[in-house]
Structure 1
Amino acid sequence: MAATVTPPRLPGTLKRKSSLPVWLAIGLRVVAVLALVGLAIAVHWFDREGLRDNYDGQVSFVDVVYFTMISITTTGYGDIAPVSERARLFDALVVTPIRVFVVLLFIGTAYNFVLKRTWERWRMSVIQRTLTGHIVVAGYGETGSEAVDELIARGEKPGDIVVVDTDPHHIAAAKACGCIVLEGDATRDQTLSDVRIDQAKAMVVTAGRDDTSILITLTARHLAPDVPISVVVRNEDNEFPARAAGATTVINPVSFAGLLLAGACKGSHLADYLTDLASIRGRVALSERAVAPAETGKPLSAITTGLGLRIYRDGKPYSFAEPEAGALKDGDLIVEIVSTRE
């Protein structure tokens, strides 16, 4: 039995938001052309006495339509000609500009739907080949869209965010935000290779299903061993599998919501402050950075950029109250509260 040979899969094509839907752009052009032609036919018909038919001497409605279309699309054949001054002025001052506008509309349509789209595909293929330092968002549902909005609010350019999703509606919404998009299955190696996951600076996985999110994480970690990956899981039992798959950060919105609710029972403003910390739009925000050379040897409480909460040394966390925070070292990571008003 002969073996089945699977043809190689073509790389996915990145897309960006277009100015108008195709049907609307074509419809506007068709309406404009029909309106201009209709105007010329109407004027020629009401002023048909100013036209002369050199064939039979009679100018019928069909002759008017024929003369108008020939005049707009060409310079005419001379079988029907304007003879009155009013008819000649109309042809010179109105029909000639209509001819120019119609030609421009046709050229514009060809440009938009042939040349421009070919150029856009080529330009996006160049971007795809040189894509680096971007953020890949796998899944643009409710959580993914919120993450993208927050990233943009924090200063990320929409053009530096690549959204991967299988839902055309999600793709359209992400494209409307200015993001680069790819409609495809993020669990496939080829899809993540198309968005150059190995050149990304971070990845956010919000597939909506824990099993899908874990599989995406596993695929991404296989292709990009060093890229930070943040994953959303909804079942507490799946937090460990997500970390085992290679997730750098695992977030459980259900557990986090429970923490907020429990905190609200102890104080009416605790949940409000935690929400404030989580968003860049609040008065304060959490920030993570490397220790500065001038801060080496100083205690965490001595930093001037914000309120030091914790340090990470060799991958282990230490709070501001622990002895390790009494002297900062090169390579430490500082988690601090900073003011967004500055």
Structure 2
Amino acid sequence: MIRRDRRAARGKTSVTGALRRRRGTPVWLSLLWRVGLVLALIGIALAGHWFDRGGLRDNIDGHISFADVLYFTMITITTVGYGDIVPVTEQARLFDTFVVTPIRLFVWLIFLGTAYDFLLRRVWDGWRMRMIQQRLRGHTIVTGFGTSGSEAVAELIRRGADPATIVVIDERAAAVELAERLGVNVLQGDASRNATLDAVQVARAKAVIVSAGRDDTSILIVLTARGLAPGVPLSVVIRSEDNEPLARQAGATTVINPASFAGLLLAGSTHGEHLADYIADLAAHVGRVALHERDVTPAEVGQPLSALNTGLGVRLHRRGAAIGFWEAGARRLETGDRIVEIVPTERLP
């Protein structure tokens, strides 16, 4: 029985992170790589100056020590030098021209790039993600990145969905990190809260998939999402058959019970070895056939469902009622009908 009060969804924000997308390289690895590159470049300049120290002249005491070479190298790389130590031979000057000068430029570029990456880029990324958040439209929101949620995201990507059009919400940091590796947008927070769903623009979403792992939590998320987005399709995973009517009452468009569906496949397999195989073929992206749902076209109005030339019509939905292909209502298609048909996978739009 659902015991949680829907009013809990009206509380203050419980978003524990910003909407983000995975970066290509970890921050620590990028920083370590840059420090190593700078040290390597300095080492090349230092070695060249040391082995050709005879081409340098110290205008202070006339003696070139290792400390003088280290000082000259660092000053030359970071500035243009102070004139206290100067190259006097042609070989030393050519080394400074064609080796040290490019090294100086590379080191400065690395410093500027690091400042941008770790300071300016953070500000830029924050602004950019806020812009992405504001412009989210026609995206798919997946609340809960457990077994069902992760499979749903993977299947969406296999079906050609751009990961940038998918938003995953989960309270667990580990789950959010796993989702981020797929390139999708992620938000760590409680999806049953208004503020969390508002942050991912649920009202402008294409669809919402709810798979929180617990029926009470999933139904609470459905209640919250339906209140914020009355017209968005909501699909929810419910594990107890007793809670399926509650999920529908909460506003779920589609209620899926994994245990019941598995039971249907198992029972169907006892009446024919190919039944379960065909159902799996329909459901999988890699199958030969697929179910496709669409609106009736003006050219099809007045024709029977069986006359479709795009696929095999199996059902239509008219004013909230489901009509099978064998029923009288399927003998004449009407404007506003929603058709469910079986089509070859290669014909999918």
Matching of residue 43 in structure 1 with residue 48 in structure 2:
yes
Given residue 51 of structure 1, which amino acid in structure 2 is its aligned partner? Answer: L
Report the 3-state secondary structure (helix = DSSP H, G, I; strand = E; otherwise coil) of the residue aligned with 2:21. Answer: coil
Contact 1:288-1:335 within 8 A present in 2 as well:
yes
Paired position in structure 2 for 1:3: none
Paired position in structure 2 for 1:249: 254
- Work out which of the residue numbers 168, 189, 205 in structure 2 matches 1:184: 189
Paired position in structure 1 for 2:8: none
Contact 1:12-1:194 within 8 A present in 2 as well:
no
- Work out which of the residue numbers 34, 52, 58 in structure 2 matches 1:53: 58
Cα 1:7–1:152 shift into 2, 3 Å: closer
- Work out which of the residue numbers 287, 290, 294 in structure 1 matches 2:299: 294
Measured after TM superposition, the shift of residue 47 of structure 1 is 2.1
Instruction: Compute the RMSD of aligned alpha carbons.
Output: 2.0
Paired position in structure 2 for 1:62: 67
Measured after TM superposition, the shift of residue 189 of structure 1 is 0.9
Report the 3-state secondary structure (helix = DSSP H, G, I; strand = E; otherwise coil) of the residue aligned with 1:78. Answer: coil
Given residue 170 of structure 1, which amino acid in structure 2 is its aligned partner? Answer: A
Once the two structures are superposed, what CA deviation does each residue of 1:106-142 show, in whole Å capped at 9, x if it has no partner?
1111222222332222122122122222211111222
Once the two structures are superposed, what CA deviation does each residue of 1:192-227 show, in whole Å capped at 9, x if it has no partner?
011111111210011122222111111111211221
Paired position in structure 2 for 1:237: 242
Contact 1:52-1:83 within 8 A present in 2 as well:
yes
- Work out which of the residue numbers 93, 97, 102 in structure 1 matches 2:102: 97
- Work out which of the residue numbers 112, 121, 125 in structure 2 matches 1:116: 121
**Structure 1 residues 270-279 or 176-185, which shifts more?**
176-185
Cα 1:8–1:238 shift into 2, 3 Å: closer
Q: Percent identical across equivalent pairs?
A: 60
Given residue 293 of structure 1, which amino acid in structure 2 is its aligned partner? Answer: P
Measured after TM superposition, the shift of residue 164 of structure 1 is 1.2
Measured after TM superposition, the shift of residue 240 of structure 1 is 1.9
- Work out which of the residue numbers 164, 168, 172 in structure 2 matches 1:163: 168
Once the two structures are superposed, what CA deviation does each residue of 1:60-100 show, in whole Å capped at 9, x if it has no partner?
22111111100100011111122222222211111111000
Q: Which runs of 5+ in 2 are unaligned?
A: 1-10
Once the two structures are superposed, what CA deviation does each residue of 1:247-288 show, in whole Å capped at 9, x if it has no partner?
111101111111111112222221111011012321000111
Cα 1:300–1:7 shift into 2, 3 Å: closer
Given residue 105 of structure 1, which amino acid in structure 2 is its aligned partner? Answer: I
- Work out which of the residue numbers 208, 211, 214 in structure 1 matches 2:219: 214
Cα 1:7–1:207 shift into 2, 3 Å: closer
Paired position in structure 1 for 2:6: none
| Equivalent runs, 1:323-338 vs 2, <5 Å | 323-338=328-343
Contact 2:315-2:323 within 8 A present in 1 as well:
yes
Q: How far, CA to CA, are the matches of 2:278 and 2:157 in structure 1?
A: 22
Paired position in structure 1 for 2:4: none
Q: How far, CA to CA, are the matches of 1:180 and 1:187 in structure 2?
A: 18
Report the 3-state secondary structure (helix = DSSP H, G, I; strand = E; otherwise coil) of the residue aligned with 2:270. Answer: helix
Report the 3-state secondary structure (helix = DSSP H, G, I; strand = E; otherwise coil) of the residue aligned with 1:341. Answer: helix
Measured after TM superposition, the shift of residue 50 of structure 1 is 2.0
Contact 1:54-1:80 within 8 A present in 2 as well:
yes
Q: How far, CA to CA, are the matches of 2:235 and 2:94 in structure 1?
A: 71
- Work out which of the residue numbers 263, 271, 282 in structure 1 matches 2:268: 263
**Structure having greater relative contact order (Cα 8 Å, sep ≥ 6):** 2
- Work out which of the residue numbers 304, 308, 312 in structure 2 matches 1:307: 312
Contact 2:13-2:196 within 8 A present in 1 as well:
no
Q: Count the aligned residue pairs.
A: 337
Superposition TM-score, scaled by structure 1 size: 0.93
**Structure 1 residues 209-218 or 23-32, which shifts more?**
209-218
Q: Which runs of 5+ in 1 are unaligned?
A: 1-5
**Structure 1 residues 302-311 or 29-38, which shifts more?**
302-311
Measured after TM superposition, the shift of residue 299 of structure 1 is 1.4
| Equivalent runs, 1:274-289 vs 2, <5 Å | 274-289=279-294
Paired position in structure 2 for 1:144: 149
